[in-house]
Structure 1
Amino acid sequence: MTMALPDPRILLLSSQDIVPVTILSGFLGSGKTTIIRRLLTYACDTAVIVNEFGEVGLDHLLLESADDNIALLPGGCLCCQARGDLARALRSLQDRSALGQAPAFRRVIVETSGLADPGPILQVLLSDPLRLSRYRFAGLVTTADAVLGAGQLAGHAVAQSQVALADRILLTKLDIAASADRQSLVQALARHSAAPVEDRASDAGLERQLFAFDVGARPRFRAIGTDHGAHDGLFTAISLGWTGRVELAGLHAELTAFALEHGETLLRLKGIVDVAGAQTPASVHAVQHLVERPRLLATMPAEPWRGIVAICRRQARNGIADRLGQVLRASTADRAEIHREHA
């Protein structure tokens, strides 16, 4: 007889506050370090992990205001050989703070290399729950250069992936961008991403943009690339509304099987579902082959929508939509209706 192991995320040895982790992505030169430098002038309770492509890292030297809480991961993009270093860096920040060797912090930003695909980086925060039990993925913010961004999206697949996976996109360099450049970028982003697009704010507004993500809200993804013909991007969004109450263990098992089947074409999945026997719904997250164990939300979300949204490669959308429908039906005990939503 086999017994299910407990969720490692509940195995904290002492009472500790959960630390949100924001991933800051964006193509080369799109202003990620500038954003962090601005934030650190007044938000000294933020730890930063900087990843650079190449053997010599420089970005961390530009973040003068919080050196003790900055970790540099040089020598390779986190999306390839350096992924294990991210888990170690997060754990090291926690240990150094506990020993008084670094200031206390209540949140973390991971600044990725401009050449990094965020998908594998998200996997790190899902795949090592025991060592990273204090941390929770908060959201992925991608910077977009208002001057050069449209051309970067047209010429680089990794730039398309960075915006497709984003929870929020921040437009940068607006002070030197022509209005036509900004308009071209916004149009290009609409072809490649469904995330909300905002002008980069400052001070308190910037803090909200980097850390305020409503996990109980409906995932803010719309259909991507609609009515753009041959200019459609590589990715699309699928939204499935669901009215039933799921069994959490069954949903986790079904999603795990789904991710094993479709992980090569699935970039990201997120959702909110009602749970049988629970007073609040659960959040659902997956990145490619990795599925995070669904977690009950602490409070009831303000929005009534329930369902799952998937970001996937365009050519796989119909197969993934059909299979997700099977996942929801198989993990739900009561009769329910599924709605595939379109823009």
Structure 2
Amino acid sequence: MAAADQIPVTVLTGFLGSGKTTVLNHLLRQKELNGVVAIINEFGEVALDHLLVESSEDRLALLDNGCICCSVREDLIETLADLAARRAAGTIPPFHRVLVETTGLADPVPVLHTLMTAPDVVGRYRIDGVVATVDAVNGAHTLAAHDEAVRQVAVADRLLVTKIDLAADDELSRLDAQLAAINPVAARHRVGNGMVDPTKVLDAGLFDPSARSADVVRWFDRAAQAANAPHDHAEHDCHGEACDHHSHHAHDTDVSSYSLIIDEPIQRDAFARWLDYVAALRGEDLLRFKAIVHVAEQPDTPIVVHGVQHVFHPPITLAGWPSADRRSRLVFIVRGIPRQIVENTLCKFAAVSRAAIQRSAA
């Protein structure tokens, strides 16, 4: 198919807590995004992000409990193929673009390699561009500590520097210089509260890895080699899919994700006290925290809490529950924080009874 006849795919990437879902929520409310399907990939046992995206179900597809660059790569291929087939058959409303939101831990190189080489995809879709969000407050530290964050920036066509209201001017200037050094060809835009002009995100042009740095070209070469080579599953956790084992692609041997479901309402002040304690005790290792919380004082209007390391954003009160399930759901992506420590602190500082805590199925 000619590029004009293919469905453009925009990849929205960015490290944990950098504001991808906030940006996506804003975009899906814009008229320019009418007729767009969003594919949301979550890393963790309990999926929450799709509940927080304000859009109708026929505009969303969820890839959960795995990272799009590893274990659910085939799911992405199948989802894209299924969407195209249903679009052609007229069984779903017509759409003219796809937005893929990756997990914060995703190396985007294998994702792009899939979109460029999978037979069921390349005939129907084309890469429109890669957009990476970078947290203005934590971005410099994240880039220094995590290879995935560097790769997300390096392959991007557009860079969105988020949470600018929380960063000082000198921090923004230093981060801007750091981003320019990693990827001098990407357009950089500063974004507050996820409010980005759709023209800054869409129609970035066909993705060409040869226009990126030598590192990016090498990563693509490795992804291609890995896609065609057998793997030792006892040693590598990528389920035979394309990944770069030289960078220890289990994302970090100490990085893990787990979720807790709490059956009883939680007192708001007690929950805030627990968050303060966790931030003080292990904030550096709390890569990402997100939760929908059943607050005892307001049973019909849950709060949503987002946290990145030591920073917790003010809770957002929803107008109502997004589903019939009114249990609190807490999702953690951490480095070296055992689940048992989290459970113990919840009981001690948030006054949650141990019997009310359920561990989600692994």
Category of TM-score, reference length = shorter chain: 0.5 to 0.7
**Structure-1 separation of matches of 2:55 and 2:138:** 29
Greater displacement, 149-158 / 174-183: 174-183
Q: Which of 39, 42, 46 is the equivalent residue of 1:52?
A: 42
Displacement after TM superposition at 1:97 (Å): 3.2
Displacement after TM superposition at 1:185 (Å): 1.4
> Contact 1:23 / 1:109 at 8 angstroms: preserved in 2?
yes
Counterpart for residue 283 of structure 1: none
Structure 1 residues 117 and 149: alpha-carbon distance in aligned structure 2, compared to 1, 3 A threshold: same
The runs of at least 4 aligned residues of structure 1 exceeding 4 Å deviation read 201-205, 215-221
**Structure-2 separation of matches of 1:218 and 1:113:** 21
* SS of residue matched to 2:56: helix
* SS of residue matched to 2:16: coil
* SS of residue matched to 2:201: helix
Q: Which of 135, 139, 144 is the equivalent residue of 1:145?
A: 135
Displacement after TM superposition at 1:218 (Å): 12
- Give the gaps of 5 or more residues in structure 2: 226-362
Structure 1 residues 203 and 33: alpha-carbon distance in aligned structure 2, compared to 1, 3 A threshold: closer
Do residues 104 (structure 1) and 94 (structure 2) align?
Answer: yes
Counterpart for residue 29 of structure 1: 17
Q: Given residue 78 of structure 2, which amino acid in structure 1 is its aligned partner? A: R
> Contact 2:12 / 2:131 at 8 angstroms: preserved in 1?
yes
Alignment of 1:1-343 (within 5 A): 9=1, 17-42=5-30, 43-194=33-184, 195-200=186-191, 206-215=197-206, 237-238=213-214, 266-268=218-220, 288-289=223-224
Greater displacement, 103-112 / 59-68: 59-68
Partner deviation per Cα, 1:162-195 (whole Å, 9 max, x = no partner): 1111111111111222212212211221332222
Give the TM-score normalised by the residue count of structure 1. Answer: 0.58
Q: Given residue 267 of structure 1, which amino acid in structure 2 is its aligned partner? A: W
- Give the gaps of 5 or more residues in structure 1: 1-8, 11-15, 222-236, 239-261, 269-285, 291-343
Q: CA RMSD in A?
A: 3.1
> Contact 1:165 / 1:267 at 8 angstroms: preserved in 2?
no
Q: Percent sequence identity over matched residues? A: 42
* SS of residue matched to 1:175: helix
> Contact 2:26 / 2:196 at 8 angstroms: preserved in 1?
no
Greater displacement, 51-60 / 197-206: 197-206
Q: Given residue 61 of structure 1, which amino acid in structure 2 is its aligned partner? A: L
Partner deviation per Cα, 1:53-82 (whole Å, 9 max, x = no partner): 112211111112232121000011011111
Counterpart for residue 335 of structure 1: none
Partner deviation per Cα, 1:263-302 (whole Å, 9 max, x = no partner): 9x7125xxxxxxxxxxxxxxxxx78427xxxxxxxxxxxx
> Contact 2:7 / 2:125 at 8 angstroms: preserved in 1?
yes
**Structure-1 separation of matches of 2:162 and 2:89:** 38
Structure 1 residues 108 and 99: alpha-carbon distance in aligned structure 2, compared to 1, 3 A threshold: same
Give the TM-score normalised by the residue count of structure 2. Answer: 0.55
Displacement after TM superposition at 1:103 (Å): 2.1
Greater displacement, 190-199 / 35-44: 190-199
Q: Given residue 266 of structure 1, which amino acid in structure 2 is its aligned partner? A: R
> Contact 1:54 / 1:75 at 8 angstroms: preserved in 2?
yes
> Contact 1:87 / 1:132 at 8 angstroms: preserved in 2?
no
> Contact 2:38 / 2:59 at 8 angstroms: preserved in 1?
yes
Displacement after TM superposition at 1:124 (Å): 0.9
Displacement after TM superposition at 1:215 (Å): 4.5
**Structure-2 separation of matches of 1:31 and 1:106:** 25
**Structure-1 separation of matches of 2:209 and 2:85:** 35
Q: Given residue 104 of structure 1, which amino acid in structure 2 is its aligned partner? A: P
Partner deviation per Cα, 1:180-211 (whole Å, 9 max, x = no partner): 22122112213322223222389996221221
